[in-house]
Amino acid sequence: MAGTERPWDVAVLGAGAAGLMAAAVAGRRGASVLVLDHAAEAGRKILISGGGRCNFTHLDAGPERFLSRNPHFARSALARYTPRDFLALVEKHRIAWHEKTPGQLFCDESARRIVTLLLDEAQAAGAALRLRVRVNDIEKGEAFRLVTDHGDVLARRVILATGGLAVPKLGATDFALRMAQRFGMRLVPPAPALVPLTLTSPAPDLAGVALPVAARIGKTVFSDAMVFTHRGISGPAILQISSYRSGDGPPLELDLLPGMSAEAEMRRIKQARPRAGAAALLEGIPQRLGRAITAEMLPDFTDHLANLPDRRIAALARRVSAWSPDISGTEGYAKAEVMRGGIDTRDLSSQTMESRLVPGLYAIGEAVDVTGWLGGYNFQWAWSSGYVAGIGA
């Protein structure tokens, strides 16, 4: 790659979900497009997503399913390129799909089909792809000069699609954040999201125990499965609520018997089975967990339920229906599905994703402060933001 190369109309940095979508759209509109990625293969996160089947969208991907300092920012892009638009593309490529939970769409076969779809679309649009090229810097002159480990590349417009910090072993870097700052854009502090939590006093003997819970922080509640890990707690309910944790916000509260009043249920059991032991009160939750909770809350009680005072039942019910575990942190970027925070949307156009400070520079995908729930929302954001930037550039 020589520095004397003609300037490309559009350089897309990052051959992930957002970058490949942007490249295909920009190419189809007649721009000369070059995509650069330091990985040996495009779309590595897509390949392992959704357990290898890629949960490629969610049909109910409204802005309320995303976290951002500006909850309205995603609205425009999501409306201009909807989950149905991506589904139409999936069907055009004859990729079989299924709906796992209402609105949550997966490939029947391999996630590789989605990568192939994107590469085919980008190629049909005339976009060039160069892998194993690390972009180290961007300089702005008359055109943008991309400083790579294979020489310089010139481009009139640049789309930053190098993603967030989640899962460095899959090629994640801080490049987008670094470049945004270098060009004066603000950052919302990044943090791991959709990430397992670690507990101050983990219970390794409970590892593997799974149960349905309602996980609540303030007014936000997710009712789904939770699983104990060696260091803490995980599972969809925990990954979802992890995105809502903040240092000074309300604590996490877990209801281990969701959908019922634990205290009313325990009093009913006491009345119906007065000669049973305390374990009968926790028959609604997995046995190993039930035993651990009774050992913690009623260590000295070996009598019949009839002799268990109601105030102790009330305390046990609170432990079960409003458990606030002592959280020491998260499993970090190594285990996070995404990064929250990122490039502050105040410095981007919601119509085109172009920087308000640097004309010709765009940012899309996970690098931007728009973070979806678990369930296909993050890919939909990649497709929608990639689409509008592809049109805009």
The binding site for ligand FDA (CB under 6 A) comprises 13-19, 36-39, 44-45, 48-50, 54-55, 134-135, 161-163, 166-167, 171-173, 175, 337-338, 365-366, 376-379, 382
CA separation for the pair 18, 23 (Å, rounded): 9
Q: How far is the CB of 170 from ligand FDA (least distance, A)?
A: 6
Task: Using the minimum distance from each CB to ligand FDA, give the nearer residue, 163 or 258.
Answer: 163
Q: Where are the beta strands (DSSP E) in the chain?
A: 8-13, 33-36, 55-58, 66-67, 97-99, 104-107, 128-130, 135-140, 144-148, 151-160, 187-193, 197-199, 210-217, 220-228, 232-234, 252-255, 327-330, 338-343, 361-363, 371-372
DSSP string, 255-322: ESSTTS-HHHHHHHHHHH-TTS-GGGGGTTS-HHHHHHHHHHH-TT--S-GGGS-HHHHHHHHHHHHS
CA separation for the pair 204, 232 (Å, rounded): 8
Do residues 168 and 154 make contact, with C-beta atoms less than 8 angstroms apart?
Answer: no
Q: How far is the CB of 45 from ligand FDA (least distance, A)?
A: 4
Task: Using the minimum distance from each CB to ligand FDA, give the nearer residue, 263 or 337.
Answer: 337
Determine the residue type at 39.
A
Task: Using the minimum distance from each CB to ligand FDA, give the nearer residue, 291 or 349.
Answer: 349
Q: How far is the CB of 49 from ligand FDA (least distance, A)?
A: 3
Do residues 78 and 63 make contact, with C-beta atoms less than 8 angstroms apart?
Answer: yes
Task: Using the minimum distance from each CB to ligand FDA, give the nearer residue, 203 or 388.
Answer: 388
CA separation for the pair 19, 91 (Å, rounded): 21
Task: Using the minimum distance from each CB to ligand FDA, give the nearer residue, 321 or 352.
Answer: 352
CA separation for the pair 45, 167 (Å, rounded): 9
Q: How far is the CB of 113 from ligand FDA (least distance, A)?
A: 13
Q: How far is the CB of 283 from ligand FDA (least distance, A)?
A: 35
Task: Using the minimum distance from each CB to ligand FDA, give the nearer residue, 37 or 347.
Answer: 37
Q: How far is the CB of 362 from ligand FDA (least distance, A)?
A: 12
Q: How far is the CB of 193 from ligand FDA (least distance, A)?
A: 10
Q: Which of 190, 138, 140, 128 is nearest to 160 (CA)?
A: 138
Q: How far is the CB of 331 from ligand FDA (least distance, A)?
A: 12
What are the helix (H) ranges across 15-154? 17-28, 44-48, 75-80, 83-92, 112-124
The torsion defined by the Cα of 202, 204, 208 and 214, in degrees rounded to 10, comes to -20
Q: Which two tokens stand for residue 213?
A: 């819970």
Interacting residues of 89 by C-beta distance below 8 A, sequence separation 6+: 117, 121
CA separation for the pair 76, 206 (Å, rounded): 45
Which residue number is nearest to ligand FDA in terms of Cβ? Answer: 16
Determine the residue type at 134.
R
Task: Using the minimum distance from each CB to ligand FDA, give the nearer residue, 48 or 264.
Answer: 48
Task: Using the minimum distance from each CB to ligand FDA, give the nearer residue, 16 or 232.
Answer: 16
Task: Using the minimum distance from each CB to ligand FDA, give the nearer residue, 16 or 390.
Answer: 16
Q: How far is the CB of 224 from ligand FDA (least distance, A)?
A: 15
Q: Which of 190, 349, 211 is nearest to 293 (CA)?
A: 211
Task: Using the minimum distance from each CB to ligand FDA, give the nearer residue, 55 or 321.
Answer: 55
Q: How far is the CB of 287 from ligand FDA (least distance, A)?
A: 31
